[in-house]
Every structure is written in structure tokens, then in C-alpha cells.
Structure 1
Amino acid sequence: MAVKRALISVYDKRGIVELAQGLAALGVEIISTGGTYRTLQAAGVPVREVAEVAGFPEILDGRVKTLQPQIHAGILAIRSNPAHMAQLAEHGVTPIDLVVVNLYPFRETVANPAVTLEEAIEKIDIGGPTMVRAAAKNYQDVGVIVNPDRYADVLAELRATGDLSLRTRFALMLEAFQHTAVYDNAIAGWLATRGREIIAARAAGEAPPAGSGADSPFPQALSLTFTKVQELRYGENPHQLAAFYSDGTAAGTVIARAKQLHGKELSYNNINDAHAALELVKEFTEPAAVAVKHANPCGVAVAPTIAEAYRKAYEADTVSIFGGIVALNRPCDRETAEELSKIFLEIVIAPSFEPDALKVLEKKKNLRLLEIGPIDPNPPAGFDMKRVGGGLLVQSWDAIAEDPAAWKAVTRTAPTAEQLRDLAFAMKVCKHVKSNAIVVAKGGQTLGVGAGQMNRIDAARFAIKQAGANVKGAVLASDAFFPFPDVVEAAGEAGIAAIVQPGGSIRDEESIARADALGIAMVFTGVRHFRH
């Protein structure tokens, strides 16, 4: 069945004039609405307004324009059903064979943190999704296009055959329902979070509806929508299939928004490790460099310049950094690039790369360079999630800002100002190390990292051993409390000068007593940072 009539109503007008011109050249009658109608008319495309076809004008500031029987009957009629076609004839309805629609930019609108509830509500499209769903439901007879990237292929097929194949219409139907699902999920997600916050502020003093869960940040039904960015060569291992999806976050410093400037395609492990490196480097306000291997930091340092910070991060563990990922929180200059180019790295992440630095790093053909723009220290939007068999674990991000001024010295010896700075540095790193986690540091540089051990003393022993002779006078951070004083004893034997840990064990007094006996300063934060 040839395409004879098309309805075009789009917010995103990329390529719409060219599509309409191509359809008109094929003899397709075009009907349209509002801004799209005016755009096509201005371009000289023969077009009729929907209001003329429907016999009813647009009303309510455009809220009602396509919600008309003349439109929806033309879309939904099954061509092979004699009763349907007889009813169209009885009511003077002409079938619509192609629907080209995309929707008001809701996600783009609510990406602005200052958006009002009224502005968000006005960007909830009603007629558009209704037409898209109607056309998709009747895919056997109606083509539906929601993606401007499909225009050229659809035109080519129409030019070749005069119609769209069943497979093409089915593919377009699937994309259409995915499009409306993404749209509805974006609306529901924003209303359940930011929208609810706005209403709560306006309705302060009013009791929430019974059973509404209004006091919980977690919606009763959690709808997640992600758009495929790319398929990956494989997952964590070559026998696993993998792809990378984005939630469309339009703000903040997140790995999904990084711009790749150079190098081969990113892998599953690359993206996972790059996320870990980026989230850690965001912790620091002073120039900082983070080296990550297998999602754990292996070298972290701060310094007056970014080149010096990288050199210190490299020197922290010259073995593990090989083949790793480096994140910087300052633009990468030529001096830093020269240092980075001395070893094999998978990825370098930075807010930007100076032209001279790019010239140096681009000599390494496979080195991936990711530009992330100015760093926003806030955590990613939404929730931190982990998939488990049959379900999803959801939590807020571990984004608490540690305040060393609020920490409690629990030993007779208090840390010096310099030690306190190193303790704060070490705890920032420890927060991003897989538990059980121990970090040994000194002078704004990690010396040893004990990650992912099944018991805390083994994590401590590894970190202390890695620190080597530099451990004397260093500090030690633990992501959780000490169940026994064994870590304190190991620290004392090594010459550790100060310890920071959350506290909260029933054996805290034993650890405090051992620290006092060994002359170690110890502070409690009251905050645990497990990372699994």
C-alpha cells in the first residue's frame, strides 16, 4: 500500500524540510501543525494545516490541535478491515499513511536546575505521544518516524518502492514505543524527585497523603531509561557481550558525558575504571592526579601544579599504574603530557588538553584522551545502583563531605596540623577503595593501598608493605572501624604516626589503648565508607 498522506509535527526540525520536500516530490499530501506548518510553508512545501483537515481550530494555547477524530481515525483505521474503511468513508476521513513526530524537550527543560514546576509541566507533550502510539499500534498500515536520523533511509525506500516494507514499519514501531517510554519515564522520574521536592516546599505544613511514601526519596515504582551510546567489543571478559548506555544526564561531571578526543574505542573495563578515576579526582580542590587499575586507585597525589601531582601519583606505585587510567582535575599541559607519555596508559582524563599537550599525547596511537570540561564536584544525578539477580539495589551516592574539624581525637596524642591534612587526604582516597580498605599516605601522596581484602589486617599489611621505607611518619586511613587492635599494632610496628577511622566498634577502647601505648594519634570520623 503506497504512502499517499503524511502528518508531520515536530519540535526538533532537523532535516524536516528536506524530508517534506522529498515526500512532496513523490506526490505525498502533507498535513501539519503550528510551527512545523509555518516552517514547511516558508520553505515552499505544499502543506495543509491540521485545523483545516480536522474542521476544528487549535485551542487552549495549542494544547488541543491533533486530538481530533479526523486525525486519529485516519491513523488507526486498519486498511484490511472493510468495516473500518466504510466508517472512514461515512465520516469523510482520509487515511494517514505516515506520521512524523518528535516531542517537546522535557528532559532538556528539566536539566536546568532552576526550572519551575510550571515550566516542566508545559513541556509535557500530549498530542505528540498520542499520535506516535496510535501510528505505532497500527504499524501494518502506518509508518511512524520519531528520529530525524531515519529520514534519509525512509525517503530512499519510498523512492525505490513507493511504500515501506513490513520489516521497516516494525522497526519504526519499536523505536517509536521506545521513544515514548523514554519520554514518560523522564517525566515520572523528575516528578518523583525534583517535582516532589518543589511541591513539598509549597505545601509545607500540609500532611502528605496517606500511604504516599512522601517521606521517602525512593519512588514506589522506579522507571529507568537509558539510551545506547555504543556496543562494546565485549564485557569484562571476551566471552561476555556488552554495550554502553547513557541516562541522558545533561549536567554535572560524569563519564557518560566525556568527549573522546583521541585513541581507540573504549572498552567495558575502560569505562568502568574511568568512572572510578573521575569520581575520586572530583574529591580534590587542589591540583590532583589519580591513577586507577581495576577500579581501585593505585596512586593518588596533590601538589601545587598538575605536573607535580602526576609525578607523585606515578611514584606512589610505578608498577600498578602501567596500563592504568589517569584522571587529572586541571587542564593537561605540555609538561604533564610529556610525563604521561613516558609509560603505557589506557586513558587520560582531564578537563581539557592544551594544544601542545595534545600534540605530545596523540603520538600514542591507541591512548584514549577524554575531555570532561570544568569539574563539578557534585555526585552524579539520581541514585547509585547495582544490579543483582532478579532485582536492583538502589542507594544515594556516598557523597558526604568529610569535615576534619568535626573529627574527634580519641588518643592522648592529637594529630599535628600537617598530619590532619594527610589524614583528610587519605580518607578521601580510602572512600574510593574497595572494602576492606586501608590507605597509607604522607605529604599529599598515597604510599600504599590495601584494597578488597577479606579482613582488615591483611589490607593494612599490604598497604604498609607497599609503602616500604617511606611508611615512617606516614598516616593510615581505614574505611571502617577496627574490630580488633591488630591494625593499630601493625601500624605501630611500621612507624605510622596517625590513624583515622570511623570508630564504632565494641572494642574501640582496645584500639585506643594500643594507640596510646604506641604513641600514635588517632581520630574518629563517625562515618563509614564501605565500597563493594
Structure 2
Amino acid sequence: MRALISVSDKNGIVEFAKKLQELGVQIISTGGTHKTLEQAGVKVTGISEVTGFPECLDGRVKTLHPNIHAGLLAMRSNPEHMKQLEELKIETIDIVVVNLYPFKETILKEGVTREVAIENIDIGGPTMLRSAAKNYQDVAVVVDPRDYDLVIDELKSGNGISLDTKFYLCSKVFAHTAHYDTLIAAYMKRERQDNNLPETFTMTFEKVQEMRYGENPHQKAAFYKEVVNTDGLLSSAVQLHGKELSFNNINDTNGALELLKEFEEPTVVACKHANPCGVGTGENVYEAYVKAYNSDPTSIFGGIVVMNRELDEKTAEEINKIFVEIVVAPSYSEKALEILKSKKNIRLLAIENITTKQDENSYDLKKVAGGILVQTIDSKLLSGELKTVTKKQPTEQEMKDLIMAWKIVKHTKSNAITIVKNGQSIGIGPGQVNRIWACKQAIEHAVEFLGEDSLKGATLASDAYFPFSDCVEAAAEAGITAIIQPGGSIRDNDSIEACDNHNMSMLFTDMRHFKH
């Protein structure tokens, strides 16, 4: 029995090779792996002794040879194959142990050049893996060091490596090479600065964790992350305390973080079921948290709180007065951590560079039965200059609040209405099947928690245009004085006229923000 070993990741390879040798397996190897094994006392046959041809072109060509691939691909049950091997004096190879050049690790290095990246694209390795995996009935192919013990245990049994195990190993190979090739294709697309949606769509992700269940207890789930461009995102978070995150935790926290990234000033976003339930801005994170909490002290219970400044002791004491599932901040003071860790079940996450936004050409994916919807992320807030379409212009404070309301409504499920006053969300109406219901819900929300007077001089944002003037009328009756919306309805004039009649200002953005 012969084994060909050629690995970039050499963890555990010496011990594995020694065990193979003790079981009577002849070891063939290449380049750096050959040197490592030989120095460790493993008897190794060099690849050139098998091919009869020297490694050349700085090691680019060494295993691409009929003596290797015929030895891998020959079907032992096919008499004609075995006859040809005998005539050509080629011996079979029964075990292949290969992992590939570190392309991923290379492209993740800061400042890596295109030339260096491309030099780390493996050619011979994937070819050997695919040859061996195609002939899995006769060849055991090992791409994952975690499978070394499995192979040794089956060899020690005296019955050889089972067909089921060989097929399991074979399936891992094709998953591995698909992942590897997808990384290369994605890198090439980025290098070309190609922002078009391709004719065939492939992406690859790496598992972060298995989950106890998915959205509901009867569903299986796992969390996967992208390999590159994760700076400042949830997939790069460091968990400092608490139980592992659930499916819903991750989905909801991601929604909160997307909204948080719209703000530069100290901001706190409270989120429930992927919708914001309270947003506050202020001179510091404590002031921002108090505003976010007071805007809806009911919904924040059991929710998620994210902020874009270090969490300090004073803010931690306030948060600790209620139950929240998750707190996310760029960092925590030592005392703040001590306070929050007093609760066993709270999850505390730190995300360095939490304000970093995704690249505007990143993809948003939605799975549908039998296919997938792909779009670039909604990276823009405004399409250009805002247009005041009413006689009355907004005041300076109203303008600030209008922009804040527009940021919030962008990240609220459609149909959505948000109401903001003095840097605080005071009413949010998410996910309604018609816009007037969302508007009424947001107004009722404000009245319930902050009182009717809170709406006097407040501002309102709608994620899409008003098809009728009913939302304007409801806003005017509540005391709201300024509105921001995309415009574009054939009945825009009805809403503009209603605003003028109530001495309200209205701004058009010429850009909608549906979120489904």
C-alpha cells in the first residue's frame, strides 16, 4: 500500500505518517512535506523517484504526471486498467493526503499583492484530490487533518478503510475544492472591480457555530461567516460573557447593527425581532441609552442593545436594571463589564471598528423556494439633495430629526413609519400591510410611553411615498410638524396640499427604502 502526502498545513502530519509507516504503508512525498517527514525520521520516497522527472519551475510542476494520476485513477476492478498499469510499470497509490496552498490566509494579509495571491493558487493539489476522490472506491483521500485518526483506526482494524468512509472522505474533498475555487473566483472579481451580478452565482462561507435550533425549536441551524470583509460586522464579534448566540439573537442583532452604522454621534439602538424599538443620540452613550430606553421601556425588555461608543459604568448600571438578551459595544470599561457580568444569561459582545460599513457592492441574499434573490445592499441613505416641496421650510432642529427619522425608517420593516423628536425615536410603526396603520401605530406608541405632548413639534419619516394624504392628516392631528418621504406618488399634490393647510413642512428624498 502506498500513500502520497503533500500538505501545506503540517499539523499532525508527522505523527500520522509515522503511524502509516508502522502499518506498512510506503510514503511518497513532495517538497517541504518530504523535508519535514524525513527530518522527523520517516522513510520517504521523493516524488521524482516515482515520476522519473525532476520537480521544476520553482515547484509549480511536480505531481502533474501520468505516473501519479494513472496510479490514482486506475480502477482496481477493471482488468484492462490494471493491465495497462503493468505494461507502463506504474504502481497504484492507495491513500492521498493533501491540503492546499494557503490562498485564504494569503489574501487576508494586509497589503498582499496580486502576484503573491496568484502564486498561492494551488494547481497540483486540487488535481490530485479530484483524481483520488473520483476513484474513491479504491483510494482514500484525506483533506482534513481531523480525519487522520479515523483513517488510522480503520487501517488498524485489519479490514482496511471501509467504502462508506472512503465516500465520506471523497465528499469532503469536493466541498473543500469548491470552497477553495470560490474564494479564488471572488478574489478575481474584486480585483477586476466587477460590480455586475454574474451569470452564475457562487459564494462560500465558513461555519462559526452549530446552533441548538433555528428560528423555531423544530428547525436545524448553524451560523456561517464570509471569509473576507468582516471588519466591524457581527461575524467578527468577540463574545465576552453569556450563553452562545441563537439564530434569532444573530438575526436581530444584525438588524440593530445595520441601523447603528448610520450614525457617527454617540448612539444607542434597542432592537426587538430585527426591528428598532428605541433609538437615541446624545452627547454621550449614557444620554443616548436613556433616550432609547424611554422611547419604549416595554419592548426593550428581552431585546438587544447596541452602541457605537465604549460602554461605561453609569450606562451599565442603567442597562442592568432590566433584562436584555444582548449588549454590543466596541469596548467596555472594566467596571461596566463587572456590573453586566453579574447577570449570568446576558450576552456581551465586543465588535472592534463597530462603525465600519459593508462595502457598497456586498450582497443581500433572500432564499426563495427553488432559487435565490440577490441584490447589492441598501448602502445609500439619500440619492442627492433633499427637496422641500411645501411652503414651510423645516427648522434646523426639525432637519436634524428628519434625517434621524429617515435613518431609522430605512432599517424598519415595511410598511414603516418612524417619529423622532430631539434626537430620540418616540414612535415606530413597523411591518404593517398599509401605511396608515403604520402611521397610527407609531403615533399611539408615542402617546403610550411619552404622552400626547411628545408629538408636538415632532418629525415623521415614511420608507415609501404616501399614496393618499391620510398619513399627513393623522400626523397633523397629533401635532407633528415636519415629514420626510420619498415622493413619487401620482397623488403627491394631495399630501403637499395637506401639509400646506396645516403649516407643516415636507421633504422629498427621491429614494425609497423598502425592507422586507
1:377-396 to 2 correspondences below 5 Å? 377-379=356-358, 382-396=362-376
Asked if the contact 2:242/2:344 (under 8 Å) is kept, the reply is yes
For residue 81 of structure 1, report the CA deviation from its aligned partner: 3.1
Q: Residues 303 and 163 (structure 1 numbering): CA distance in 2 closer, same or farther, change over 3 Å?
A: farther
The alpha-carbon deviation at position 386 of structure 1 amounts to 0.7
CA contact 1:72–1:134 (8 Å) conserved in 2: yes
Greater shift in the superposed pair: 440-449 or 300-309: 300-309
Residue 67 of structure 2: aligned partner: 70
Once the two structures are TM-superposed, the CA of residue 476 in structure 1 deviates from its matched residue by: 0.8
The one of 85, 89, 92 aligned to 1:92: 89
Asked if the contact 1:300–1:313 (Cα under 8 Å) also holds between the matched residues in 2, the reply is yes
Matching residue's letter, 1:41: E
Q: How does 1:10-25 map to 2 (within 5 A)?
A: 10-25=7-22
1:230 equivalent to 2:226? Answer: no
Alignment equivalent of 2:46, drawn from 36, 45, 49: 49
Note the 1:493-532 alignment, pairs <5 A: 493-532=477-516
In structure 1, what is the Cα distance between the partners aligned to 2:72 and 2:15? 23
The residue that corresponds to 1:251 in the other structure is 230
Change (3 A) 1:23 1:96: same
1:351 Cα shift?
2.2
Q: Shift in Å at residue 88 of structure 1?
A: 2.6
Would the aligned equivalents of 2:7 and 2:99 in 1 still touch at CA under 8 Å?
A: yes
Which residue number corresponds to residue 168 of structure 2? 171
**Distance of 2:419 and 2:480 partners within structure 1:** 9
Compared CA separation, residues 288 and 158, structure 1 to 2 (3 A): farther
Aligned partners of 2:243 and 2:345 also within 8 Å = yes
* Cα contact 1:108–1:250 (8 A) shared by 2: no
1:475 and 2:459 aligned: yes
Corresponding residue of 1:272: 251
The whole-number CA distance in structure 2 between the counterparts of 1:29 and 1:358 is 56
Shift of 1:452: 0.7
Letter of the structure 1 residue corresponding to residue 192 of structure 2: R
Cα offset for 1:251? 3.2
Whether the 8 Å CA contact 1:252–1:376 is kept in 2: the answer is no
Q: What residue is the counterpart of 1:261 in the other structure? A: 240
1:196 aligns with 2:192: yes
Which of the numbers 429, 432, 435 marks the counterpart of 1:450?
429
Task: Give me the whole-angstrom Cα distance separating, in 2, the residues matched to 1:152 and 1:353.
Answer: 42
Q: Contact 2:381/2:407 (CA < 8 Å) preserved in 1?
A: no
> How far apart, CA to CA, are the structure 2 residues paired with 1:220 and 1:106?
25
Matched, 1:484 2:468: yes
Distance 2:36 2:118 in 1: 25
Code of the aligned partner of 2:19: G
Cα distance in 1, alignment partners of residues 362 and 227 from structure 2: 12
Superimposed CA distance per residue, residues 97-141 of structure 1 (whole angstroms, 9 cap, x where no aligned partner): 211111223334444686554444333221111111111112122
Deviations 1:82-105 (A, max 9, x none): 333333333332322211111223
Is 1:293 aligned with 2:272? yes
Q: In the aligned structure 2, how far is the partner of 1:125 from the partner of 1:36?
A: 15
Closer, same or farther: CA 241–442 of 1 in aligned 2, 3 Å: same
Aligned to 1:59: 56
Q: Match for 1:322: what amino acid?
A: F
Superposed displacement of residue 29, structure 1: 2.2
**TM-score, length of structure 1 as denominator length:** 0.90
Equivalent residue, structure 1, for 2:137? 140
In the alignment, the residues of structure 1 paired with residue 366 and residue 355 of structure 2 have an alpha-carbon distance, to the nearest angstrom, of: 24
* CA deviation map 1:457-510 (0-9, x unaligned): 111111111112311111111111111111111111111121111111122222
Q: 1:112 to 1:251 in 2, by over 3 A?
A: farther
Partner residue, 1:306: 285
CA contact (8 A) 2:308 2:355 kept: no
Residues of 1 paired with 2:201 and 2:34: CA distance?
38
Corresponding position of 2:326: 347
**Secondary structure of the structure 2 residue equivalent to 1:446:** strand
Q: Cα deviations across residues 138-197 of structure 1 (Å, max 9, x unaligned)?
A: 212211111222233333443454732222222111111111111222223333x32432
Task: Please provide the CA RMSD for this pair.
Answer: 2.2
Q: Select between 459-468 and 9-18 the one with higher mean Cα deviation.
A: 9-18
Distance change >3 Å, CA 333–CA 484, structure 1 → 2: same
Give the superposition deviation at 1:456: 1.0
Contact 1:111-1:251 at 8 Å conserved across structures:
no
Residue type matched to 2:375 in 1?
A: Q
Return 226-235 or 139-148, whichever deviates more: 226-235
Letter in 2 for 1:276: G
Gaps of 5+ in 1: 199-215
CA distance in 2, matches of 1:146, 1:176: 6
The change in CA–CA distance for 1:106 and 1:452 in structure 2 (over 3 A counts) is same
1:395 CA displacement? 0.8
Distance 1:112 1:496 in 2: 52
Partner of 1:205: none
Moved more, 442-451 or 507-516: 507-516
Q: Distance in 2 between matches of 1:253 and 1:153?
A: 38
Which range moves more in the overlay, 515-524 or 32-41? 32-41
Deviates more, 1:151-160 or 1:453-462: 151-160
**What is the DSSP-based 3-state SS (H/G/I as helix, E as strand, rest coil) of the residue aligned with 1:447?**
strand
Q: Secondary structure at the match of 1:19?
A: helix
Q: Which moved more, 1:152-161 or 1:178-187?
A: 152-161
Q: Which moved more, 1:133-142 or 1:228-237?
A: 228-237
Q: 1:58 to 1:329 in 2, by over 3 A?
A: same
Letter in 2 for 1:106: F
Alignment CA distance shift 1:401-1:60 (3 Å)? farther
* Greater mean deviation of Cα atoms: 178-187 or 238-247: 238-247
- Any idea what the Cα deviations from partners look like across 1:7-30, whole Å, max 9, x if unmatched? 111222222233223333433322
Structure 2 unaligned runs (5+)? Answer: none
- 1:210 corresponds in structure 2 to none
Distance 2:400 2:370 in 1: 44
- In 2, Cα distance between the equivalents of 1:306 and 1:101? 52
Q: Aligned with 1:197: secondary structure?
A: coil
Larger CA deviation: 145-154 vs 471-480: 145-154
The alignment status of 1:284 with 2:273, answered yes or no, reads: no
- What residue number does 1:375 align with? 354
Between 447-456 and 257-266, the greater mean CA deviation after superposition: 257-266
Partners of 1:496 and 1:53 in 2: how far apart?
Answer: 83
Partner of 2:312: 333
